Amino acid sequence: MMKRFLSFSLVIPAVLIEGGTSSTSEDVPPATIQDLTLIVQRILNIAVRLAGIAAFVMLIVGGFQYLTAGGDSKKTQAASNTLTYAILGLVVVIGAWFILLFIEKFTGVKITEFDIPEIQ
């Protein structure tokens, strides 16, 4: 389990940083604040999109649970709770997205731009 986590955690920085190639230490410029903002921007974009996808999937699961409840009150209540929490999750994700847009307009930092980095 720890080996999987360690290997996964070593892959994430390579995805977040622009398509880096292996080079010697002489070729690598020092890190700047723009590098940090780029990493934070990509983490926020990925997190908001994944949360939106998860809420959408939970809407589908809740709807399927409701359709297959067969009149059982406990199953119907569970499906209703799933749908309620999925809708609440979508509202939270949309609210977070609007907060990110506000921060973008206020600071001028392009937080909501999302591009897929090229890995060479």
Q: Where are the domains of the chain?
A: 74-109
pLDDT at 61: 92
pLDDT per position as a tens digit, 48-98:
788 888 988 999 999 999 899 888 899 999 999 999 999 998 888 888 888
Nearest partner of 38 among 16, 60, 54, judged by Cα: 16
Model confidence pTM above 0.85? no
Q: Name residue 3's amino acid.
A: K
Output 18 or 68, whichever has higher pLDDT: 68
Nearest partner of 116 among 35, 40, 55, 45, judged by Cα: 45
Q: Which residue has the tokens 């409701």?
A: 66
